[in-house]
Amino acid sequence: MDGAARREGILVLMRHGQSEDNARDLFSGLRDPALTPRGIEEARAAGRALRERGLHFDRAFTSRLRRAQDTLALLLGELGQPTLTVETDAALNERDYGALAGLNKTEARARFGVEQVRSWRKSYKAVPPGGESLAMAAARVWPFFEGRIVPRLTEGASVLVVAHGNSLRSLLVHLDRIAPEAIEEVNIGTAEFLLYGRAPDGRWVRNAEPPGPA
């Protein structure tokens, strides 16, 4: 295939399935809870949904936290790609919630106030005590994406990234060109996946269709 006809690969971003902390409404951050039975089924269902779309991946990336790694393994099993090359990196870890990690969100609101907790959870720049803001998470996620993932896509590979709600939200600020103040309204559900392609002008386009036969 010559350069003019070559298509870049498809990018799929996905949040892990429900974890034990999600089920208990706890701040997780860098804690390492396992998936719940529901989370396991969510991961498998996502794999089946991707298979039904005809997707096949050349490379996968995930964080160093087991809820993301286990989700990816279950998904790849449903896709029939259990031996796919997977790169794990702390750059894709969930944001560090610092002193909030392990707290129930209702208890945190009672202790710190509803608006303060909302700001720590959703805003771009607010820093929870001893933790990371979304902007700080973006400062590690985006360079990793540009340095490790974009080159694979440019080569024509189809890439799957399984990570976390906030590490993915920080990435969407760049991919979807979302204003920092607007990211507060963006939420990614457990085992939800987002499909992207790249437009000729270099913009990332969400809900791109899988490539057809060469």
Residue 123, annotated ligand binder? no
Q: Which domains, ranges and CATH numbers included, belong to the chain?
A: 11-206 (3.40.50.1240)
- pLDDT surpassing 50 at residue 213: no
pLDDT for position 9: 86
The encoded tokens of residue 175 equal 């991919």
Measure the CA–CA gap between 149 and 143, rounded to whole angstroms: 10
Residue 189, annotated ligand binder? no
Measure the CA–CA gap between 106 and 209, rounded to whole angstroms: 40
pLDDT for position 208: 66
- pLDDT surpassing 50 at residue 26: yes
Beta strands in the chain (DSSP E): 11-15, 59-62, 86-88, 159-163, 193-198, 204-206
Secondary structure letter of residue 124 according to DSSP? S
Measure the CA–CA gap between 5 and 34, rounded to whole angstroms: 44
Residue 17, annotated ligand binder? yes
Stretch 78-102: mean pLDDT: 97
Handedness of CA 18, 142, 152, 5 (dihedral sign): positive
Residue 70, annotated ligand binder? no
Average pLDDT along the chain: 92
Residue 104, annotated ligand binder? no
Measure the CA–CA gap between 125 and 122, rounded to whole angstroms: 9
Mean pLDDT lowest among 29-33, 68-72, 181-185 = 181-185
Stretch 64-89: mean pLDDT: 97
Instruction: Catalogue the active-site residues.
Output: 16, 94
pLDDT for position 178: 92
Residue 28, annotated ligand binder? yes
Measure the CA–CA gap between 33 and 80, rounded to whole angstroms: 26
The encoded tokens of residue 164 equal 């976390």
Instruction: Quick: pLDDT tens for 176-187.
Output: 999 888 999 999
Instruction: Quick: pLDDT tens for 104-138.
Output: 999 999 999 999 999 999 999 999 999 999 999 99
Measure the CA–CA gap between 101 and 143, rounded to whole angstroms: 25
Stretch 158-173: mean pLDDT: 96
Q: How far is CA 2 from CA 10, 12, 94, 210, in A?
A: 19, 25, 40, 20
Quickly state the pLDDT bin for 155 (edges 50, 70, 90).
Answer: very high
